[in-house]
Every structure is written in structure tokens, then in C-alpha cells.
Amino acid sequence: MEIPLLLRQAIDQALEGVALGDLRRAAATLSERYRGEKLDGALHLSDDLAARAYLATRLPATYAAIRAAMTELAERRPDFSAHSLLDIGAGPGTVLWAAADCWPGLATARLIEASSAIRKWGEILARDSTVAEIVWQAGDIAEGVGEAGRPDLVSLAYVLSELPAAARGRLVDDLWVLTGDTLLIVEPGTPRGWERILSARTRLIAQGAHILAPCPHAAPCPVAAPDWCHFARRVARSRLHRLAKDADVPWEDEKFIYLAASRRPGLAAEARILAPPRVGKGRIDLKLCCADGTLQDRTLSKRDGATFKTARRRDWGEIL
Ligand SMILES: C[S@@+](CC[C@H](N)C(=O)[O-])C[C@H]1O[C@@H](n2cnc3c(N)ncnc32)[C@H](O)[C@@H]1O
């Protein structure tokens, strides 16, 4: 998956003049902090170099994950179009770009972000956005979100891990109250990211939310540790991205997990594919999360006719 051309160009401009050695060091520190889920009171994106390292090495991946989650959400709710957005922990405005791409009618956005370093770049990038009214707001969401109207779409992407555990549940509850239609939460596709999504899922179902995706049911999650539910998107690496990470391969696989919860039900789905399908001669093996709340390994062959043909076109993360 590629980020929109206008965003790509704006990022290239933002990275002009950064010394490669500095970018490499900042990218390594950032990656270490994210991997360790460090909570030491400091923001990961606390200065300009860390913010620009995020643009080069993380934004393409978080964009791909968020955009993929939006595609699945939109498939379950073809009647939904986001006209207004509230994005929490907006960083450089990744959700804003993905939402405008998914729902071109997006007209207003309010983005809350604590780090002035990344907010500055978000505001600069957003000058090229098609969204007419964009308000950036400084604020620490661990202390509450405040009044925000009832935007159609409320989002929280790659943020829960940066908050103290005690603040997460209340934030999810607060965001649900503010949600006009749909709340989208995205997390890294790690066991810990999945656990945070599971806990948000339990709270939201208890408050009457309809789960649009990825789960095709509202029963308890049938996936059990040490397994965990997650998906992946292949992301093209720019030249600078490769250099900043000292990487040879021109792509990386971003693993992610998400939850789309809505005030309105979506189209029913029979099952979602939870792992890369294994395709053999005349057969396909699928790991499925099914509408009845069970996990099933199913083998389809030519004898299954149309279902087999459909399954051959489907990928990990999609509905069967
Ligand atoms: C990993 S970045 C994700 C940025 C963007 N949502 C994305 O997906 O690319 C997490 C963002 O949340 C912000 N953040 C973390 N804690 C916050 C808080 N307490 N209040 C507001 N923003 C916060 C960070 O500064 C950072 O920009």
C-alpha cells in the first residue's frame, strides 16, 4: 500500500536537509521506545528529529494499517460516510489523510495531539489536504478529551500503548460517548496490542456498540493466547526510509490490529480470514473467525464451487 502522492511529496519536503546520521539515530531510538512500549513520562515524539524520523519510518506503515482498517469498516457499512472526524493522538495527521482517502466527503476534522514537535509537521502536511476545516488542538488526553460535538468518526490510532494502563479504559468510554456514528481504534499487531483491543471491545459491547470489524460477531473472542488476532499490510519503503533503517528490502510488513465499533449495525459477515490462506493444488486452507463466535480451520476444494472461487480471491484480513 502506498500513501497518497500529495502526502508523499509533502513528507519528502519535510525531510529535506536532515542529516542521514541524525535521522538514523532518531529512527533507532524511536523504534526501541515503541518496541519496548516505554512509559517514562516523556513523549516518544518529543523533538523535531524524532518527529521527522516518524514521518520517514513510521507514518507510511501506520497509514497503511489505518487505511486497511477503514476499508474493512466501509465494507461492513456501505451507507456510512465520514463528514466529520475527531482524531486523538493525531501525530502527523495520519488518520486525517487515510479518512479523506476513504471518504472523500470528509469536511471537518479536529485533531488532538500532545507533542508540539509532531503537531507542527502535521499542520504543515495538512496544508495539502482536501479537508476544508482542520483544527489542531494541543492537549493531554490522559486528562480527558473535553467537549467535541458528536463527530461521525472518532479515531485513536497507535495511541493506547502510550497511555498509562489506568487511563485507557476511561478514554475508550469517553470516546464512545463522543462518537456520532463509528469509533475506530488501531493498535500494533502484537499480543499486547491485541489485549488492549480486546479490553476496549469488551467495554464497548457492554455499552451497546455494534462491532463492525474485524469480528463477525459480538461473542467472546475465540482466539486464545499464545495466539493473537492481527493482520498485516505490505508497505513500500522510500529510499530515505531504507537508508534511515539501514534496510536492504524495499518493503516491510506492518502488523496491526483494530476495532471498528458503531452505533448502527453493519452488514452481516459469515467469517473473517485470520491468517494468510494456504493455497494448494485445487484446495485452499483457511483459518476463520466465524459469525457464530467460533474459530475454524476450513479446507475448501473445487467441489465447493462458487465458495472456492470466492475464497481464492480473498486474502488475510478479508471477509469470506
Ligand atoms: C504512535 S503515534 C501515532 C500517531 C498517529 N495516530 C498515527 O497513527 O500515525 C502516537 C501519538 O499519540 C500522541 N500522544 C501520546 N500520549 C498522548 C497524550 N496523553 N495526549 C495527547 N497525545 C498523546 C503522541 O505524541 C503521538 O503523536
Domain annotation covers residue 319: no
Provide the number of structural domains found in the chain: 2
Which residue(s) pair with 257 in the sheet? 187
Distance between CA atoms of 142 and 89, rounded to whole angstroms? 10
Helix then strand then coil, % of the chain, to nearest 5: 40, 25, 35
CB-based contact 57:18 (threshold 8 Å) = no
- pLDDT for position 106: 98
What is the 55 CA–ligand 1 centroid distance (Å)? 13
- pLDDT for position 285: 97
From residue 85, alpha-carbon distances to 7, 27, 292 in Å are 19, 29, 33
Q: Which of 40, 159, 170, 172 is the pocket-test mutation for ligand 1 (most atoms within 8 Å of CB)?
A: 159
The answer to whether residues 79 and 225 belong to one domain is: yes
The answer to whether residues 30 and 97 belong to one domain is: yes
The answer to whether residues 237 and 105 belong to one domain is: yes
- pLDDT for position 283: 95
The answer to whether residues 96 and 144 belong to one domain is: yes
Instruction: Residue 79: give its domain's CATH number.
Output: 3.40.50.150
The answer to whether residues 207 and 297 belong to one domain is: no
Domain annotation covers residue 209: yes
Give the DSSP letter string of 66-108.
HHHHHHHHHHH-TT---SEEEEES-TTTHHHHHHHHH-TT--E
**Residue 31: exposed, middle, or buried by beta-carbon count in 10 A (0-12, 13-18, 19+)?**
middle
Measure the CA angle with vertex 70, ends 150 and 149; round to 5°.
5
- pLDDT for position 145: 80
Distance between CA atoms of 203 and 209, rounded to whole angstroms? 9
The answer to whether residues 210 and 235 belong to one domain is: yes
The answer to whether residues 53 and 125 belong to one domain is: yes
User: Within 10 A of 299 (CB to CB), how many other CB atoms are there?
Assistant: 11
Phi-psi sector, 110: left (phi>0), alpha (psi -120 to 50), beta: beta
The answer to whether residues 80 and 215 belong to one domain is: yes
Predicted TM-score of the model (pTM): 0.96
Domain annotation covers residue 155: yes
Mean pLDDT by 10 residues, the chain (320 residues): 90 92 93 89 90 95 98 98 98 98 97 96 95 94 80 98 93 96 98 98 98 98 97 91 84 96 97 96 96 97 92 94
The answer to whether residues 169 and 249 belong to one domain is: yes
155 lines ligand 1 (CB under 6 A): no
Give the domain-ending residue among 262, 279, 294.
262
Instruction: Pick the atom of ligand 1 nearest to 91's CA.
Output: 27
140 lines ligand 1 (CB under 6 A): yes
Q: Which domain holds residue 287?
A: 271-312
Give the domain-ending residue among 244, 262, 280.
262
Distance between CA atoms of 213 and 262, rounded to whole angstroms? 10
CB-based contact 320:286 (threshold 8 Å) = yes
The answer to whether residues 164 and 276 belong to one domain is: no
Domain annotation covers residue 90: yes
The answer to whether residues 200 and 290 belong to one domain is: no
Domain annotation covers residue 317: no
Domain annotation covers residue 320: no
Distance between CA atoms of 81 and 157, rounded to whole angstroms? 19
- pLDDT for position 49: 95
Domain annotation covers residue 142: yes
* Residue tagged 483544527 (cell numbers): 135
Q: With H, G, I as helix, E, B as strand and everything else as coil, classify residue 181.
A: coil
**Residue 85: exposed, middle, or buried by beta-carbon count in 10 A (0-12, 13-18, 19+)?**
buried
Q: Which of 35, 52, 118, 162 is the pocket-test mutation for ligand 1 (most atoms within 8 Å of CB)?
A: 162
Give the DSSP letter string of 112-129.
EES-HHHHHHHHHHHTT-
The C-alpha R_g of the chain, in whole angstroms, comes to: 20
Domain annotation covers residue 216: yes
Which residue(s) pair with 78 in the sheet? none
The answer to whether residues 147 and 175 belong to one domain is: yes
What is the 313 CA–ligand 1 centroid distance (Å)? 36
85 lines ligand 1 (CB under 6 A): no
